Structure 1
Amino acid sequence: MKNTFHYNRFRLGRIWALALMATLAGCARYQPAPLHPGASATALLGRRLDEPALGQFLAAMDVHPRGHWGLRALTLVAVYERPDLRISAAAYDAAKAAVTTARQIPNPTLSLAPSFNATQAFPSPIKIGPVISFLVSNLGAREAGIAAARDRQQAARILIAAAAWRERSNVRNALLTLWLDERIARIKARVAGYAATASRLVAQRVTSGMLAETVLASTTEAANKASFGAAEARAQIGMDRARLAAAIGMPAAALRGEHLSFIAFEHPLPPANLVALTRTALVTSPSVVAAYENYRAADASLRKAIDQQFPGFRIGPGYHYDQGANKFILSLSLPLPILNQNQGPIAEALARRQLAGALFDRAQAHVLRQIEAAEAALQGSGRVAGQGRHLLVIAHQREQQAIQAYRAGASGRLRMVEAERQAILVREQALTADAQQLRALAALADALHHPVFRESHV
């Protein structure tokens, strides 16, 4: 009997050792991933558009800038390892890992309670043996938990697309602002030139006694204001380029000396069927789809909470060496839903589903408000732009009349210069109206998640 006891103890030890080795072999190991702020700051300041890795990424997307950076190329630069996209991707990975958590089967529990009977030495005072218990969970609750995790994963995946669109929108707005401000700067430079010319002509006439000194003072003041406006416009271009660099995740120095292409803004494509696109956006917009998936997840969580009124049972097969006798046991434990029927988690899950439904309604309403506001702004800016073009035609006609009169000797140069200056000022107003129309069109594109600007060849 003594040999039998030692043999059983040896065999049991081997079983425990093998089980421990198998468990440790499947365990994950911690891998450190420290951050180095100094090194990352150096890398950020050293980013350039000619980086080999970035070039390979652009080539893989069939984009070859060749020194001309347009909307599509700059958008892909922004997408390339941008923090916002990395955050959304990390959130998706976390949601994906939650699916793995929901799918995994609970580990069994090993219990061991040895005892020693000091009053009975024969055949053996020792009682020892393992019991391994398994949790047999409610299958409906488990499937509901997996469904909820999958829906949250889908919502996180949709938010990656939303983050990518935001990147594109930020780049487009920055590039559009730069393009418009460069055109305005050229106009303001011409206005300053005409104002300076008019001031010199007036000064000549004042010197000859043809005009009073007060006229020269007002003309000089207008020339100074025009020169100041031109300087402000030039300074604005520098700030616009810095904003564009920030939008693509580069330091401002990365755009220095680079040629930018604005072809995408020269021939916009307004939505052809706004009613159909609006209905599509109310169903497929990333914010709406994400809210819908979150509602599905909340609904599945409610189903899980209801099913967990009966969470399952535990079954525990085991073996006991009981004072020289080999005993095999089977334990069964079942929770009794007497004191509560999981009312608290059910109420919480029901409230979360109601909240998710309200958030879905808000997401759809928000998309509709954005579309209608952008549509109204587009219509209003279109009327203003049309009026601006009409005034520009009139100003151009007057400019031509003044030029012809000067060439015919019917008027002086000062009147011609003033007509040219007025025509340039009207052109600036028309450009401002066109800019409002383009920005309204861009806002409508964002609300519809529908591109309206023709992509450039780069």
Structure 2
Amino acid sequence: MVVLLLVLVPGCGFRDYEPKPLSTDAFPAQFRTRDLDSQELRRYLERVGYAEPGQPIREWGLTGLTLAGFYYSPELAVAEADWHLRRAGEITAGQRPNPSLSFPAEYHTDPSGDEGSPWVFGSVVDVLFEAPGKRDARRDRADALSLAGRIELEHAAWRLHSRVRQALIELRAARRRRDLLREEAELNEKTLRLLEERARAGQVSTFRVTTLRMDRARTRMELARQRGRIAEARHALAEAVAVPEEKLREVSLAFPEVQPGPGGQLDMERLRGLALRRRYDIRRAVAEYAAREAALRREIRAQYPDLSLSPGLLFDQSELVWMLGASWTVPLFNRNEGPIAEALARRRLARKRFLKLQTRVLQKLAERRDRYRARNSALSEARSLLRDARERQTSRRKQYKAGYLDRLALLRGRRELVRARRTVAEAETARRLALAGVRDALQRPLSGRLALDRALQPLIEETGADP
């Protein structure tokens, strides 16, 4: 038996230790080289069906930037590593306890007979038989925790998609506001030059000139503030995609088209049903509660002791002796009351947290729905004001051509029209952000090229060999 062990054990599939030390100096250089034109990212995009082989990507929109974020995101990598850890827990939970082998040896100082050997040699095998249901409970708990890890991975992908979308909305809005402020600043300059000429001729008061100069200063200040907001939105987009900010300046961005969106009236009952069925945090909480249930079942099964059988063979003074031992834990001082009480308390805590989560989700959904309805109404009012401003400006042009209005009144009308357009642009941005908030509250599963089974599978396969 000893020779058999010496032959078989080295042939088993043992893994060798491979050191992988951390280095604080390697990552900064690696991060600076990240860009949206790398060959590795290109191969990934081709594999998920976003990029065509040999065809350049001319514009990076919401889908492309989200997929790039999937490839580079450290948050997604952490969620993926956690999922691999939980999947490894499934292997641990399904393992059966290995038998143990011992070799007792004894020496007798007074052997019986002249030919008797003073040595006693033997071998004993200890085989553990677990109480029924323990292993199944462990596997059920590991399966539930693995499912929760998978849902968290999908949730991390959704959060990344949401951040990319919001950063694109903010960047588009900041650029639009900047363009309208530039137009308004140009009109202020033209109007100010005309007023200064008339002030020198004594046709207008200096108060009107001073007032317009203050408006010009405010417009310039707001224009400088918008440049800062453009930089902030671009940095937020770069952080979501996990690439250096300067790399985004080298590519052309495609912003999502302005969608009409749903009407102001949203069916709250339907929204509640959708949120409570498919939100990632709700589904993860259900999986974690199932893990608590399995843990409680495991502790209940632990009340019953495991049985250990120990068959053996002894060579005692030239004679073979067969033996069979059995042992188990006697539940004399406790019957696992403590762990059972803890498992019951953890399950109760998980239930209370789930109810708290449902309450928070429903409250947030109602808040987001009401915010969207308010932003939708504000946009309707802003568009109505813009229509009125356009009608007034059309009337001013006719009066100007007929000689009833001067150029100063026409410039003043153009400034009013630009400000109305800016009000509409800000109202559209507010409504788009509110609609994005409703979508975040619902967390509709990603589809198409962003479907997680399709988009994450290449990344999982790439790291699955060495989690």
TM-score (norm 1): 0.91
Counterpart in 1 of 2:307? 313
Q: Is the 8 A contact 1:184 1:431 kept in 2?
A: yes
Q: In 2 relative to 1, CA 454–83 (structure 1 residues): closer, same or farther, beyond 3 Å? A: closer
Determine which of 39, 49, 73 is the counterpart of 2:36: 49
Secondary structure class of the residue paired with 2:311 = strand
Q: Distance in 1 between matches of 2:2 and 2:369?
A: 77
AA of the residue aligned to 2:49: D
Q: CA offsets per residue over residues 210-254 of structure 1, 9 Å max, x none?
A: 122232222212112212222221232222222211211110121
- 1:176 deviates by 0.7
**Are the equivalent residues in 2 in contact too, given 1:176–1:265 (CA < 8 A)?**
no
Alpha-carbon offset, residue 453 of structure 1: 12
Q: Which residue of 1 aligns with 2:21?
A: 34
For 2:83, the equivalent position in structure 1 comes to 92
Q: What is residue 215 of structure 1 aligned with on the other side?
A: 208
Q: Which residue of 1 aligns with 2:270?
A: 276
Map Cα deviations across residues 183-207 of structure 1 (whole Å, 9 max, x no partner).
1111111111111111111111111
1:157 corresponds in structure 2 to: 150
Aligned to 1:7: none
Superposition deviation, residue 55 in structure 1: 1.3
Is 1:239 aligned with 2:239?
A: no
- The equivalent position to 2:328 in structure 1, one of 321, 331, 334, is 334
Query: Which of 419, 429, 432 matches 2:426?
Result: 432
> Does the alignment pair 1:447 with 2:436?
no
SS of residue matched to 1:338: coil
Deviates more, 1:141-150 or 1:227-236: 227-236
- The answer to whether the 8 Å contact 1:442/1:452 transfers is no
Q: Which amino acid counterpart does residue 115 of structure 1 have in structure 2?
A: E
Query: 2:96 matched to 1:105?
Result: yes
Q: Which residue of 1 aligns with 2:6?
A: 17
Conserved? CA contact 2:158–2:446, under 8 Å: no
Deviation readout 1:139-183 (Å, 9 max, x if unpaired):
211111111111111111111111110010000000011011111
RMSD: 2.2
AA paired with 1:39? A
Q: Secondary structure at the match of 2:101?
A: strand
1:267 aligned onto 2:254? no
Determine the C-alpha separation between the residues in 2 that align with 1:346 and 1:119: 53
Equivalents in 1 of 2:147, 2:446: separation in Å?
A: 27
The answer for the alignment partner of 2:64 in structure 1 is 73
Q: Distance in 1 between matches of 2:448 and 2:85?
A: 36
Distance, in Å, in 2 between the alignment partners of 1:236 and 1:302 is 52
For 2:323 and 2:346, locate their aligned partners in 1 and report how far apart those are by CA, in whole Å.
44
Q: Which residue of 2 aligns with 1:186?
A: 179
2:50 counterpart of 1:63: yes
Pairwise CA distance, 1:389 = 0.8
- Per the alignment, residue 382 of structure 1 pairs with 376
Of 213-222 and 265-274, the range deviating more from structure 2: 265-274
Q: Distance in 2 between matches of 1:153 and 1:290?
A: 10
- In the alignment, the residues of structure 2 paired with residue 214 and residue 342 of structure 1 have an alpha-carbon distance, to the nearest angstrom, of 88
1:194-205 correspondence to structure 2 within 5 Å: 194-205=187-198
Residue of structure 1 in register with 2:461 after alignment: none
**What TM-score comes out, normalization by structure 2 length?**
0.90
Change (3 A) 1:440 1:454: farther
**How many equivalent pairs are there?**
442
Deviation at 1:43, TM superposition (A): 1.4
Question: Between the two proteins, what is the percent identity of the paired residues?
Answer: 29
- Using a 3 Å threshold, how does the CA distance of structure 1 residues 399 and 453 change in structure 2: closer, same or farther? farther
